[in-house]
Structure 1
C-alpha cells in the first residue's frame, strides 16, 4: 500500500518558534530553475518572504528542480507558510518566464530541528547542495542561496 501526500501530513504539528528543514520539489521534477530569469524571480520572492509573513527563512538554496530551506515559524502553521511560499514563487516564476501552469508538486518534506541540532551546521549542509550535486566547484559560483549569517 503506497503513501499519499495527505498520509504524510497526518501527525504533522506546527509550533511557533520551531525551525524546520523543508524540501519542496517542482511539478514532475521539471528543471524550472535551470534558467536565470525564472530562478532569479523565485530567489527574489524567497529573499523578501520573511518581510511578507510571520515566518522567517534562515537559509535556503534553490536547486534546478527543488528548494531546500530552514524556516522558523511565526503565527502561521507550516502548511500555511509553505502554501504562501509556493504560491508566491509560482506566480513570480510564471510571470517572469511567460509560462503558465503548475510549478510545485503538492506537499513537501519537513524535519523539525531538535534543540541539540546545530542550526548553523544544518544551514551549511543545506547551502552546500549545489557542491554535492556537482553544479559548481565553489559555492561562490552558485547564485541561488542565502543564509541570515552572511
Structure 2
C-alpha cells in the first residue's frame, strides 16, 4: 500500500525501485572536485546503512546526481531525499567553507515498472560521465557505483 508523501502528487511505495535525479542549486558544479563528491556519496551510503534505501546504481556528476535505489519497507521517499540533501549540504558546505543552498528544491523521480530493464537503466546512469565527455572510460570516473560489479 502506498504511503502518502509530504509533497502533493507523490507517493512512497514500499520496496519500489526509483530512478532519482537531483540537481545542484543553479546547476553549480560543486562536485567537479571528486573529494567534495565523496562527502555526498558518504551520505548515500549512510542512508543504506540506516536501511532507508538500497542503492543499486548511482553517479554523482559535477552538478547533479542520478540514483537508482529501492526504497525500504518503512521509509518515505520525500523524507529520505530530504535527509540526503540536508546531510550532504551540511557536510559539503562545511568542507567548501560556504553557506547557502547546495541542491535545487525538489527532485525528479521515476518509479520503475515491472517490465523495465533495471540493468539497462543502471548502465545508462553510470555512463553519464562518458556521454558528458568527462572521461573516455567509466573506470576513470571516481564518483559512481553499481551492485552488478
TM-score surpassing 0.5?
A: yes
CA contact (8 A) 1:45 1:92 kept: no
CA contact (8 A) 2:34 2:142 kept: no
Name the structure 1 match of 2:28: 30
Q: How far apart are residue 17 of structure 1 and its match?
A: 0.5
Stretches of structure 2 lacking an aligned partner (at least 5 in a row): 1-6
Q: Distance in 2 between matches of 1:113 and 1:45?
A: 23
Stretches of structure 1 lacking an aligned partner (at least 5 in a row): 1-8
Name the structure 2 match of 1:14: 12
Instruction: Note the alpha carbon deviations across 1:16-54, whole angstroms, 9 max, x for none.
Output: 000010100001111100113311211222233200242
Name the structure 2 match of 1:43: 41
Q: How far apart are residue 56 of structure 1 and its match?
A: 1.4
2:139 equivalent to 1:147: no
Q: Give the alignment's TM-score, normalised by structure 1.
A: 0.89
Q: Give the alignment's TM-score, normalised by structure 2.
A: 0.89
Instruction: Note the alpha carbon deviations across 1:72-117, whole angstroms, 9 max, x for none.
Output: 1111111111111111111221122222211001100110000011
More strand by share: 2
